[in-house]
Structures are given as C-alpha cells and as structure tokens.
Amino acid sequence: MSDIINQLFETILSRKGADPESSYTASLYAKGTAKIAQKVGEEAVETCIEALQGNKEKLTQESADLLFHLMVLWADQGLTPDDVFKVLESRIGVSGIDEKNSRKK
C-alpha cells in the first residue's frame, strides 16, 4: 500500500516545476496553497456524500481524489507521507480519547 502512496507522492513532487498548461498538479501548485486546500475540502465533502449515498464505487473514486489532493497539499507544505505515517504509528495502541485529550495541553 505505501509503495503506491510513495510512487504517487514522488510524481506529485516532480510536477512542482512543471508547466501548468501540461500538468494538472502543476496547475494546482501555480494557483497556490489556498486553491489546493480548497480542493482538499471539496474532495472531502464529495467523499462524505458518496459514503452517505452508499455508492461504494463512487466512494472509492472520491477517496482516491481526496488522497491525491491531500498529498499535493502535503507536498506544498513540505510534508511527506512518512511524516504523517510517523504520527499515525505513534498513536497505535493509544486510546483515541486519550490521544485527543493530550493535544489540548
């Protein structure tokens, strides 16, 4: 699974300096962080809608779109999938309630 994430992330990174006319990802970078974040929000809403409608095929497609746009946002902000995976790994075996309460300090 992480191989696919890493391969896609490398492609996303390689588009940073590409021509926005020839690359959708480059066009997102050219529009800036606000547009990238907006796309993440749009894809999140679309993912939720498909979940509520019970359409697994569309939910799968929207989930892929959400992950893609989220990774573009990570790259835009200088994060990597490993940065996010490390946080997730640190939460393994920790109660979700305890973890959330620890962030309030």
- Distance (Å, rounded) from C-alpha 15 to C-alpha 13? 5
**pLDDT per position as a tens digit, 63-94:** 999 999 999 999 999 999 999 999 999 989 87
- Distance (Å, rounded) from C-alpha 2 to C-alpha 4? 5
Domains of the chain: 7-92 (1.10.287.1080)
- Distance (Å, rounded) from C-alpha 97 to C-alpha 58? 31
Tally of CB atoms within 10 A around 90: 10
**pLDDT per position as a tens digit, 7-63:** 999 999 999 999 999 999 999 999 999 999 999 999 999 999 999 999 999 999 999
